[in-house]
């Protein structure tokens, strides 16, 4: 909330709770304002700081806002404070008390006047070097005035006093390692100190357009609507994700028209009904934006190509009904998480990058941004976000990406709104993709596929960001399309729409969040019980968190001999899952026996702790012959365990020697498999071989589409058709499938 505004000529100071901002108006100026490049701008800024005092942020307003905040504003405020002290306290512009000689006094006075009134304001680095030169010169000559007979000792002491004060300035300290490079003809050195965030005046988000100083470029790539460059700095442990959106590199006329169009569209306040179907709302706004922009350019007598109108309308929609630059970042397939900490104006946005881990960015979000987003998320989700409900958990679907969003505010977040976006993959994960990424091995993929076909109950366990939901999605892809699927989620993360596109018979149930539930939503337990009344189906539960665990185990006990029942749960080991289910969620130990398989996936960190990779670390079966504690009574039997030395998930003796009771149970329902572990093993190996063949061909033929859900689903369907026709002859099955595969590969782009 603004507490004071002080207009002064072409500048004003605005003070709020956390910021004191000096706004300088450069509208209509022919120059692009810049402290680092323009001595005039630097001098003018210092003069204004002398008038208004220290500030925390300096903004040059033109068609783009040039924002100097944090240490940059502090450094300029510090310089202005020094100049003020030299003038008012040290009275450096009046040296008559030092000497009244008409010969030497004018020379001294002239130097200090130029130093304070000009050089320190326009070029403090040059002033510092000039001061050093003058001190050395005065000390070398040790002259005595012919007029008054005094020496220059007092003058030298004054210069040394100024020098000592200047040496403490942040500008000087930052430039000190580079002062030998100083060239009075250029201002290159100032660019190492000052690098403003820049945003067009119709946007709120601040983007630092210039590349970070003294940084090594790691890689660069292009997104739709933006360019991304990755950097690393020696003094920063996190890499820098530098994104330059198209809207920050437009022509002046385009900025003007976009600003006018935004003002027009801002008059319309979307209703909750419109946000229920954001895709439709975007389509309407896109059409309106395209027509509005065309009319505005026409009124200015400017002929603009249709492609440009389309680009500008996308930008306009993104900054009216959309989420601004966040949408562009979420389009990046390499982005996994995106976080905005509070207070937003004091923190840069951070991302988790698939190749570089946690990264800083060149983006600073403003309070106006987050206030707008919070309102939109309330409307889209129908869930509350207020002091009584300070957490909102929902999903965000924008062009090119799908994300889970968590919003927090006070009193939980004392410093205001904060956001976390967890980006989901555009297409569902598949087992071949996970094998290629080394999260699984082909054998593990084959084993999990076998469990899915066997209609077993599975819990995917792991810590935060372990890939639980992604792995669960890949297992859903393994379910045959002839089997109906029902999903139960409080936040829609599972790829239901993609599976519908792939012709799956799938029904999604959205239930009340344990954390942020809406009044109109049913609770998760009732959602699961409802699914049981909806006929024979596979049941997939997004995450087991609370009292729905009892209902889930009802479903497991009912569905154990029919179709797959699977879900995710937090836990870093099979016993950790048992402890959470039984002790925290109050499921009876005997009911826990309905769990057949626990798959544990956790991030595996590098020795230095800077990188982590997702890995499945255990595939464990839960036996049924224990009474109270499966750990003490050998109720957990590992079938595959991660070996950190080989970075592989390896089979245990129990699996290799056919001691798995779950596999025997599946085989008992297949006439030709009963009592024949070799037949079971050959079926698992067949699935592993198919997976490996898909991966090898994808790499060899440079066809990544072979690993995606469209092809994997078709390949799985074909494999099962051939298995149905040929029985247990795995060699013949693979040969037939391979012939089909080779034929299909040709048509895949």
Does 282 score more than 50 pLDDT? Answer: yes
Residue 63 is predicted with a pLDDT of 65
Angle CA 336–337–341, to nearest 5: 165
On whether the CB atoms of residues 29 and 62 are closer than 8 A, the answer is yes
| Integer Cα distance of 93 and 630 in angstroms | 86
Poorest-pLDDT segment among 91-105, 271-285, 345-359, 453-467:
91-105
Q: What mean pLDDT do residues 75-84 have?
A: 93
Q: What mean pLDDT do residues 209-233 have?
A: 91
Band (pLDDT 50/70/90 cuts) for residue 95 is: low
In the three-class reduction of DSSP (H, G, I as helix; E, B as strand; rest coil), residue 621 is classed as strand
In the three-class reduction of DSSP (H, G, I as helix; E, B as strand; rest coil), residue 215 is classed as strand
pLDDT in tens, 552-562: 887 777 654 46
Name the more confident of 410 and 265. Answer: 410
Beta bridge partners of 583: none
Does 146 score more than 60 pLDDT? Answer: no
Beta bridge partners of 337: 352, 422
Instruction: Enter the tokens of residue 622.
Output: 């839960």
In this structure, the number of other CB atoms found within 10 A of the CB of residue 388 comes to 7
On whether the CB atoms of residues 15 and 3 are closer than 8 A, the answer is yes
pLDDT in tens, 576-622: 999 999 988 888 888 899 899 999 999 887 665 666 788 999 999 99
| Integer Cα distance of 507 and 488 in angstroms | 9
Q: What mean pLDDT do residues 443-454 have?
A: 96
- Find the helix or strand (DSSP H, E) in which 424 lies: strand 418-424
Name the more confident of 275 and 309. Answer: 309
Pick the closest to residue 159 from 117, 115, 102 (CA basis): 115
Residue 231 is predicted with a pLDDT of 96
On whether the CB atoms of residues 147 and 103 are closer than 8 A, the answer is yes
Pick the closest to residue 403 from 492, 323, 280, 469 (CA basis): 492
Q: What mean pLDDT do residues 567-575 have?
A: 92
Instruction: Enter the tokens of residue 609.
Output: 């702790």
On whether the CB atoms of residues 667 and 677 are closer than 8 A, the answer is yes
- Find the helix or strand (DSSP H, E) in which 241 lies: strand 240-245
Share of the chain above pLDDT 90, in %: 44
Residue 30 is predicted with a pLDDT of 66
What is the residue whose two structure tokens read 């048992």?
Answer: 578
Residue 100 is predicted with a pLDDT of 57
Band (pLDDT 50/70/90 cuts) for residue 26 is: confident
What is the residue whose two structure tokens read 């028209």?
Answer: 257
Q: What mean pLDDT do residues 645-650 have?
A: 93
Name the more confident of 280 and 147. Answer: 280
Does 431 score more than 60 pLDDT? Answer: yes
Greatest mean pLDDT among 19-23, 220-224, 523-527, 745-749 lies in 220-224
| Integer Cα distance of 192 and 173 in angstroms | 12
| Integer Cα distance of 111 and 123 in angstroms | 15
At residue 12, what are phi and psi to the nearest 5 degrees? -150, 160
Band (pLDDT 50/70/90 cuts) for residue 6 is: very low
| Integer Cα distance of 586 and 119 in angstroms | 75
On whether the CB atoms of residues 353 and 344 are closer than 8 A, the answer is no
Residue 560 is predicted with a pLDDT of 42
On whether the CB atoms of residues 246 and 311 are closer than 8 A, the answer is yes
Pick the closest to residue 241 from 226, 257, 224, 262 (CA basis): 226
Mean pLDDT in the chain?
86
Share of the chain above pLDDT 70, in %: 90
Residue 3 is predicted with a pLDDT of 37
Total number of residues shown for the chain: 749
| Integer Cα distance of 410 and 389 in angstroms | 9
Does 328 score more than 50 pLDDT? Answer: yes
Residue 199 is predicted with a pLDDT of 67
Instruction: For the chain, count helices (H), then strands (E).
Output: 26, 25
What is the residue whose two structure tokens read 């562009």?
Answer: 328
pLDDT in tens, 674-683: 778 889 999 9
Name the more confident of 132 and 524. Answer: 132
Q: Are strands 612-622 and 597-605 parallel, antiparallel or unpaired?
A: antiparallel
Name the more confident of 607 and 218. Answer: 218
Residue 17 is predicted with a pLDDT of 59
Residue 700 is predicted with a pLDDT of 94
pLDDT in tens, 112-138: 889 989 999 999 999 999 999 999 988
At residue 261, what are phi and psi to the nearest 5 degrees? -65, -40
Q: What mean pLDDT do residues 452-464 have?
A: 91
On whether the CB atoms of residues 737 and 690 are closer than 8 A, the answer is yes
Residue 720 is predicted with a pLDDT of 95
| Integer Cα distance of 526 and 511 in angstroms | 8
Residue 179 is predicted with a pLDDT of 87
What residues contact 572, with CB distance under 8 A and at least 6 apart?
461, 462, 463, 600, 602
């Amino acid at each position: 909330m603004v507490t004071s505004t002080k207009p002064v000529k072409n500048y004003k100071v605005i003070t709020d709770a956390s910021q004191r901002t000096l706004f300088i108006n450069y509208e209509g100026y022919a120059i692009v304002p810049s402290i680092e490049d323009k001595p005039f701008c630097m001098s003018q800024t210092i003069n204004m700081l002398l008038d208004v005092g220290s500030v925390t942020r300096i903004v040059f307003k033109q068609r783009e806002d040039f924002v100097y905040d944090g240490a940059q504003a502090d450094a300029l405020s510090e310089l202005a404070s020094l100049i003020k002290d030299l003038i008012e306290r040290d009275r450096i512009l009046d040296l008559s008390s030092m000497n009244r000689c008409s010969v030497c006094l004018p020379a001294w006075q002239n130097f200090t006047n130029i130093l304070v009134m000009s050089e320190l304001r326009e070029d403090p680095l040059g002033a510092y070097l000039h001061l050093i030169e003058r001190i050395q010169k005065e000390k070398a000559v040790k002259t005595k005035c012919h007029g008054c007979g005094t020496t220059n000792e007092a003058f030298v002491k004054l210069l040394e006093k100024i020098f000592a004060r200047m040496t403490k300035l942040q500008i000087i300290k930052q430039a000190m390692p580079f002062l030998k490079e100083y060239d009075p003809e250029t201002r290159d050195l100032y660019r190492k100190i000052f690098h403003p965030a820049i945003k067009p005046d119709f946007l709120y988000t601040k983007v630092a357009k210039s590349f970070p100083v003294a940084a090594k470029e790691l890689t660069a790539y292009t997104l739709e609507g933006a360019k991304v460059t990755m950097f690393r700095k020696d003094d920063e442990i996190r890499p820098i994700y530098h994104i330059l959106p198209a809207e920050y590199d437009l022509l002046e006329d385009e900025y003007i028209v976009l600003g006018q169009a935004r003002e027009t569209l801002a008059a319309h306040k979307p209703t909750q009904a419109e946000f229920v179907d954001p895709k439709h709302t975007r389509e309407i706004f896109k059409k309106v934006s395209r027509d509005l922009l065309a009319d505005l350019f026409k009124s200015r007598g400017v002929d603009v190509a249709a492609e440009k109108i389309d680009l500008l309308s996308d930008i306009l929609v993104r900054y009216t009904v959309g989420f601004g630059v966040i949408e562009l970042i979420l389009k990046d397939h390499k982005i996994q998480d995106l976080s905005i900490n509070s207070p937003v104006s004091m923190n840069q946005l951070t991302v988790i990058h698939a190749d570089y881990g946690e990264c800083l960015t060149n983006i600073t979000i403003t309070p106006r941004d987050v206030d707008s987003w919070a309102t939109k998320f309330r409307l889209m989700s129908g869930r509350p976000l207020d002091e009584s409900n300070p957490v909102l958990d929902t999903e965000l679907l924008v062009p090119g990406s799908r994300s889970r969003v968590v919003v927090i505010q006070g009193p939980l977040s004392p410093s205001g709104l904060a956001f976390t976006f967890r980006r989901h993959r555009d297409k569902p994960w598949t087992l071949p993709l996970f094998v290629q990424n080394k999260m699984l091995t082909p054998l593990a993929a084959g084993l999990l596929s076998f469990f899915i076909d066997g209609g077993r109950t599975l819990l995917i366990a792991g810590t935060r960001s372990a890939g639980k939901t992604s792995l669960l999605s890949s297992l859903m892809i393994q379910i045959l399309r002839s089997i109906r699927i029902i999903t139960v989620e409080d936040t829609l993360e599972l790829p239901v729409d993609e599976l519908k596109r792939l012709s799956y018979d799938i029904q999604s149930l959205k239930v009340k969040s344990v954390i942020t539930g809406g009044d109109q939503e049913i609770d998760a337990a009732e959602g699961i019980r409802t699914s049981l009344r909806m006929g024979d189906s596979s049941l997939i539960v997004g995450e087991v968190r609370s009292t729905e665990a009892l209902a889930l185990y009802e479903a497991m006990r009912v569905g154990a001999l029919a179709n797959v029942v699977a879900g995710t749960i937090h836990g870093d080991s099979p016993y950790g899952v048992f402890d959470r289910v039984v002790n925290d969620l109050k499921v009876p130990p005997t009911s826990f026996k309905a769990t057949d398989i626990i798959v544990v996936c956790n991030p595996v960190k590098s020795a230095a702790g800077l990188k982590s990779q997702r890995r499945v670390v255990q595939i464990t079966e839960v036996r049924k012959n224990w009474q109270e504690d499966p750990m003490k009574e050998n109720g957990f039997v590992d079938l595959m365990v991660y070996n950190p030395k080989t970075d592989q998930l390896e089979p245990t003796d129990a699996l290799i020697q056919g001691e798995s009771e779950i596999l025997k149970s599946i085989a008992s329902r297949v006439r030709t498999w009963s009592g024949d572990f070799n037949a079971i093993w050959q079926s698992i190996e067949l699935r592993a071989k198919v997976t490996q063949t898909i991966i090898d061909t994808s790499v060899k033929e440079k066809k990544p589409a072979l690993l995606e859900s469209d092809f994997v689903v078709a390949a799985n369907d074909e494999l099962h058709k051939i298995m149905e026709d040929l029985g247990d002859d795995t060699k013949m099955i693979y040969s037939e499938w391979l012939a089909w595969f080779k034929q299909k590969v040709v048509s895949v782009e």
